[in-house]
Amino acid sequence: MPHECFADEIDIDFPSVGRVVERMRDRFLGERADQDVLLAEVSVSKFEARKGHIVPLEVPVRATCPSCGGRGETWAEACPRCLGTGESLAHHAVRVSVPPGVADGARLRFRLCSPDAPAVRVEVRVVIRPAAI
């Protein structure tokens, strides 16, 4: 093959486009049935449940490794930051709005969309703390 000599050059110079293709597919075709849902739990007092409350939450999201650009390697060695996966884990801060009158065990669902990572489906279970004695 005349172009085999360029195979290493392409692997080294171009970051993985897998995440980009995944995001485009998600945007054009919607959610995939096999997509995982991140489960979380927030705790509110009876007063906060009755009146409504905003709860801060850290959501872990996968993103392209900033060190290797998603390649998983730097030249011929695995990237030490992502351990060769091409991905890094970042925590995205969100504010979950618990509606007034929410019941114990209620589930709130949303999608977290970031320009640097694929969308994450999140399901938050609301737990109402018992009153202090």
Mean pLDDT by 10 residues, the chain (133 residues): 45 56 66 70 93 92 82 82 84 91 93 76 92 65
**Domain count across the chain:** 1
- Residue 132's pLDDT is 64
Beta strands 73-74; 53-64: pairing state: unpaired
User: Is residue 115 situated within a structural domain?
Assistant: yes
User: Is residue 103 situated within a structural domain?
Assistant: yes
Beta-strand (E) ranges in 71-116?
Answer: 73-74, 77-78, 87-98, 107-114
User: pTM for the complete prediction?
Assistant: 0.62
User: Is residue 11 situated within a structural domain?
Assistant: yes
For the record, the structure tokens of 100 come out as: 């007034």
The answer to whether 46 and 128 have CB atoms below 8 angstroms apart is: yes
User: Is residue 20 situated within a structural domain?
Assistant: yes
User: Is residue 117 situated within a structural domain?
Assistant: yes
Distance CA 8, CA 82 (A): 20
Distance CA 59, CA 46 (A): 25
Residue 26: CATH number of its domain: 2.60.260.20
- Residue 31's pLDDT is 56
Domain that holds residue 113: 4-128
Alpha helices (H) in the chain, listed in sequence order: 7-13, 18-29, 46-51
User: Is residue 96 situated within a structural domain?
Assistant: yes
User: Is residue 99 situated within a structural domain?
Assistant: yes
Q: Work out the number of other CB atoms within 10 angstroms of the CB of residue 12.
A: 12
User: Is residue 133 situated within a structural domain?
Assistant: no
